[in-house]
Amino acid sequence: MGRRMSYAVKETFLTVQGEGGQAGRVAVFLRFAGCNLWSGLERDRAKAVCQFCDTDFVGTDGPGGGKFASAESLAAHVKSYWPGGGKPLVVCTGGEPLLQLDEAAIAALKAAGFEIAVETNGTIEAPEGLDWICVSPKSTAPLKQRSGHELKLVYPQADAMPGLFENLDFGAFRLQPMDGPHQMENAKAAFEYCLTHPQWSLSLQTHKWIGVD
């Protein structure tokens, strides 16, 4: 795999992971710009494969955003957010981070001392070297990454119901209620589904409960 010319980052910030198997852990969130399932523009939402996304991943103008000419400069940027101590963790998200997160960036982040987690829609096979792979399938998008540490399914999705994924090779299967005006209704539905299908566990976005990123 060749080196990228540059990396485009929407935002970077230090937070506490609020959901999934790494919940409660301090992490640098590295949000890459761009996605392959939606342009990020409201005018295109109705035509997008994923129509429920609530994340701004367009451009490089967010806090800690920018373009980085090399994997080393990207890793140095991420390292500048870590306060010291503990086990440094970077969560690579988007948009779709695997459009940009390549072997060079993984090597540079490892050299900077970070464990690397990725949150991906699963439409691109993950490169080697990742410490935590969380796949979140979206609607009818083809799933190419069919193994990992956790599969986190936003629920409900008419075209992506849990039964389609339960035989895949993941360490954990989690249902996360879809955000939006019907969030509480969706949370109750996810709760009931987990009760009757205990292969699945309920994933709640605790960071939203306490009003932080």
* pLDDT at site 180: 80
Catalytic hit among 13, 15, 55, 103: 55
What pLDDT is attached to residue 20?
87
Indicate which residue of 19, 29, 134, 170 is catalytic.
29
| Residue 45 in tokens | 């939402």
173 given a catalytic annotation: no
205: domain CATH number is 3.20.20.70
Amino acid at 35: C
197 is catalytic: no
Q: pLDDT of 44-79, one tens digit each?
A: 999 988 988 888 999 999 999 999 999 999 999 999
123 catalytically annotated: no
Please give the mean pLDDT across all residues of the chain: 93
Any catalytic annotation for residue 169?
Answer: no
Q: How far apart are CA 122 and CA 141, in angstroms?
A: 9
pLDDT at 210: 53
Residue 52 pLDDT: 86
For residue 156, is the peptide bond before it cis, meaning its omega torsion is within 30 degrees of 0? yes
Catalytic, out of 11, 19, 96, 119:
119
User: Can 35 be counted among the known catalytic residues?
Assistant: yes
The position carrying tokens 């900077």 is 112
Query: Which residues neighbour 187 within 8 Å (Cβ) at sequence distance 6 or greater?
Result: 177, 204
Position 149 scores a pLDDT of: 98
Domain-located, residue 152: yes
**Which residues of the chain register pLDDT less than 50?**
1
Structure tokens at 184: 């509480």
156 domain-assigned: yes
| Domain count across the chain | 1
**Cβ 30 vs Cβ 12: under 8 Å:** yes
Asked if the structure places residue 2 within a domain, the reply is no
Per-residue confidence (pLDDT) for residue 1, from 0 to 100? 46
